Amino acid sequence: MKQSIFTIKENRPLTDLVWLMRMAGDTSEITAAGQFVNIQLDGLYLRRPISVFDCEDGMLSIIYKVVGKGTEKMTTLPVGTELDVLTGLGNGYDLEKVGKKPLLVGGGVGVPPLYYLAKKLIAAEKKPEIVVGFNTADEIFGVEFFEEIGCKVTVTTVDGSVGVKGFVTNALEAIDYDYICTCGPEPMLKALYRATEAKGQYSFEERMGCGFGACMGCSCKTVTGYKRICKDGPILEKEEILWEK
Amino acid sequence: MGKMNVNLCGIELDNPVIPASGTFGFGYEFDELYDINVLGTFSFKGTTKDPRFGNPTPRIAECTEGMINAVGLQNPGVEKVISEELPKLYKVFNKKVMANVSGFSVEDYAYTVEKLDSVDEIGWFEVNVSCPNVHGGGMSFGTQPEAAAEVTRAVRKVTKKPIIIKLSPNVTDIVSIAKACEEAGADGISLINTLLGMRIDLRTKRPVIANKMGGFSGPAIFPVAVRMVYQVAHAVNIPVVGMGGVSSAENVIEMMLAGATAVEVGAANLVNPYACRDIIADLPRVMAKYGIENLSDIIGAVK
Ligand SMILES: Cc1cc2nc3c(=O)[nH]c(=O)nc-3n(C[C@H](O)[C@H](O)[C@H](O)COP(=O)(O)OP(=O)(O)OC[C@H]3O[C@@H](n4cnc5c(N)ncnc54)[C@H](O)[C@@H]3O)c2cc1C
Ligand SMILES: Cc1cc2nc3c(=O)[nH]c(=O)nc-3n(C[C@H](O)[C@H](O)[C@H](O)COP(=O)(O)O)c2cc1C
Ligand code: FES
């Protein structure tokens, strides 16, 4: 973990509510896809946890959805603004454990960390396929990022306006995969957990006090005892999760 | 340069800054960030007789200049604290540590303190009496002078180390509770624990915290804390450890002027993991600015 100052280089909307921010700073502690950063915003007491969307030579990118005070405020920050950011938080996806034919499944703002993961997997010669789920056509973002790096993407929409109608689980049958990495809202994770026999790594969200393991604000029970989502997670292996099949 | 050392119940601290229980784990997590030996000492996570997972999540809610937590005393239990957590701490910390202890019956407190008493590295006990008394209808020990005194007497019997009783601010007359603890044999008083608070999410129209209510802390509570430290420090003849919203060297000095011998820093560690290191580094500057030679001279200077 590291606390350092990042300078915003780009901050623009991708859809009505989803924004992309790029910022320059010390990215040396960001060692794995699926990790997150914790951003301090003027006038708000707690930091905001956001996943790493991309990270390259001192440039950190995040994609965030406007849901409340903090993310609203982020949209107003001009290029050049300096932000106090804790980097290198969380365990991240373990590339070693990923099988030969990985499928990355993202829902809503669970999609961003999968892009950095896809890049890492390609570098490790485990090129993934992608499924991304949204509610409606106008919520879709990020597909082109995956296509640019040569990944096949299947889109699902609940209303059927684009791609496969329904949920991400409706797309599974048509795909040949042996392992799943996923991030998204909990109902999606649960549906996926039940819909596939494949092993995998699931990314979780929880309200956080610190984001680095000090406060026990984010604990969850797992098969192997309690874990802090911020430090021992946010990625849990499927076998660790305490859900009914 | 002015002197920052203070004496807390017979043990000398290099400086009065102490990370508060529950916001610093068992310390070693922070050693990745800075040498935690710069601290006066620190108070480790509230430890109970049996392991506790704590409350369901969400356990955290943001507030204006503060936060609510309902962690629910998650800890691995006293046996594991001794066998697993403390050995990891001693690898990186070479000062006496403050053992924060909680319980749900008088016997629980005595059991846990007795177990920890044999650990040389523990300098003080900080006994958190804000927990509900399961035999007393769930009322917190810290809300009744007699119940707080009973806990004090019980732990007094099982240790010779200094006992600091940590008081809850959710009471009508904090002074009477502090005095009862002093009479029952406490060596010090620390305060304040969190204020009972609640937030509601307008979108879901439900409490943000799964447990509905939780402990409010952070800069917003600082004035309440200064007031209570002032009241207690002037009513008892034992040292007082002040806390509640402390986030800067100025706040440390204000707490000491109100009567605190040492000062704990809680929520600030969570938003700035370097908070205590930064406060300690800044103290000499602020002391010079206000013409303070020795920090120990200003304790309770406000009459
Ligand atoms: C590990 C992790 C990674 C995340 N990655 C992303 C990402 O890549 N993109 C993205 O858009 N969002 C992500 N989120 C969710 C994001 O943290 C919240 O949407 C954001 O904190 C909301 O802040 P706000 O001030 O706009 O909302 P408010 O509702 O005003 O926030 C109030 C408080 O609740 C907390 N909070 C609200 N919603 C959430 C939530 N879903 N999870 C955790 N805390 C929450 C806030 O941090 C703040 O402390 C992630 C969350 C976690 C835990
Ligand atoms: C996340 C969190 C966990 C806490 N856990 C404990 C605990 O285990 N035992 C205890 O005596 N106090 C606990 N406290 C209370 C603090 O030690 C402190 O008394 C209180 O937060 C006021 O200080 P602050 O405003 O600087 O945070 C906790 C506080 C927070 C924020
Ligand atoms: S948020 Fe503090 S331990 Fe996870």
Average pLDDT, chain B: 96
DSSP state of B46: P
Residue B138 has pLDDT above 80, yes or no: no
Distance from CA of B76 to the nearest CA of A (A): 10
Q: CA of A186: how far to CAs of A106, A183, A191, B101, in Å? A: 11, 9, 9, 36
A133 with A168: CB under 8 angstroms?
yes
Report chain B's terminal Cα–Cα distance, integer Å: 27
Which residue of A45, A221, A228, A232 to mutate against B (max B Cβ within 10 Å)? Answer: A45
Cβ(B23) to ligand 2 under 6 A?
yes
Which H or E element spans position B178? helix B174-183
State whether A46 and B271 contact (CB < 8 Å). yes
Cβ(A67) to ligand 1 under 6 A?
yes
Give every CB contact of residue A148 below 8 A, 6+ residues apart in sequence.
Answer: none
In percent, the amount of chain B with pLDDT more than 90 equals 95
B190 with B219: CB under 8 angstroms?
no
Predicted pLDDT of residue B131: 80
Average pLDDT in the B84-108 region?
96
Give every CB contact of residue B83 below 8 A, 6+ residues apart in sequence.
Answer: none
Which residues in chain A touch residue B74, judged by CB atoms under 8 angstroms apart?
A: 216, 219, 226
**Between B222-233 and B249-258, two packed helices, what is the crossing angle to 10 degrees?**
30
Query: How far apart, in whole angstroms, are the C-alpha atoms of residue B101 and residue B254?
Result: 27
Spacing, Cα A140 to ligand 3 middle (Å): 31
The domains of chain A, with CATH numbers, are 2-89 (2.40.30.10), 95-205 (3.40.50.80)
DSSP state of B251: H
pLDDT in tens, chain A (245 residues): 999 999 999 999 999 999 999 999 999 999 999 999 999 999 999 999 999 999 998 999 999 999 999 999 999 999 999 999 999 999 999 999 999 999 999 999 999 999 999 999 999 999 999 999 999 999 999 999 999 999 999 999 999 999 999 999 999 999 999 999 999 999 999 999 999 999 999 999 999 999 999 999 999 999 988 999 999 999 999 999 998 87
Tell me the three state secondary structure of residue A41.
coil
Residue B136 has pLDDT above 90, yes or no: no
Cβ neighbours around B74 below 10 Å, total: 21
User: Hey, which residues does A56 pair with through a beta bridge?
Assistant: A59
Counts for chain B of helices (H) and strands (E), in that order: 10, 15
Pocket test for ligand 2, best of B194, B243, B255, B276 (most atoms within 8 A of CB): B194
pTM: 0.96
Q: CA of A20: how far to CAs of A116, A166, B21, in Å? A: 14, 26, 38
Which residues in chain B touch residue A210, judged by CB atoms under 8 angstroms apart?
A: 23, 269-271, 273
Task: Tell me if the bond preceding B192 is cis, omega within 30° of 0.
Answer: yes
Query: How far apart, in whole angstroms, are the C-alpha atoms of residue B240 and residue B299?
Result: 10
Of A208, A221, A226, the CB nearest to B60: A208
Tell me the three state secondary structure of residue A219.
strand
User: Hey, which residues does A1 pair with through a beta bridge?
Assistant: none
Average pLDDT in the B147-162 region?
98
Predicted pLDDT of residue A124: 95
State whether B25 and A40 contact (CB < 8 Å). no
Q: For B221-276, what is each residue's pLDDT tens digit?
A: 999 999 999 999 999 999 999 999 999 999 999 999 999 999 999 999 999 999 99
Which H or E element spans position B235? none
Residue B1 confidence class, pLDDT cut points 50, 70, 90: low
Nearest CA in chain B to A226: B53
| Predicted ipTM of the assembly | 0.94
Query: How far apart, in whole angstroms, are the C-alpha atoms of residue B142 and residue B25?
Result: 23
Query: How far apart, in whole angstroms, are the C-alpha atoms of residue A25 and residue B1?
Result: 36
Q: For B38-76, what is each residue's pLDDT tens digit?
A: 999 999 999 999 999 999 999 999 999 999 999 999 999
Tokens of B201: 């999410």
Cβ(A115) to ligand 1 under 6 A?
no
Phi-psi region of A178 (alpha: psi -120 to 50; beta: other; left: phi over 0): alpha
Q: What is the full DSSP assignment across A104-168?
A: EEEEGGGSHHHHHHHHHHHHTT-PPEEEEEESSGGG---HHHHHHTT--EEEEETT-SSSEES-G
Query: How far apart, in whole angstroms, are the C-alpha atoms of residue B71 and residue A149?
Result: 43
State whether B30 and A214 contact (CB < 8 Å). yes
Q: Strand B97-101 and strand B66-69: pairing?
A: unpaired
Tell me which residues of B are annotated as active site: 131
Spacing, Cα A216 to ligand 3 middle (Å): 5
Of B59, B65, B208, the CB nearest to A45: B65
B282 with B249: CB under 8 angstroms?
yes
Query: How far apart, in whole angstroms, are the C-alpha atoms of residue B25 and residue A231?
Result: 13
The domains of chain B, with CATH numbers, are 6-57+72-198+216-298 (3.20.20.70)
Pocket test for ligand 1, best of A46, A67, A115, A188 (most atoms within 8 A of CB): A67
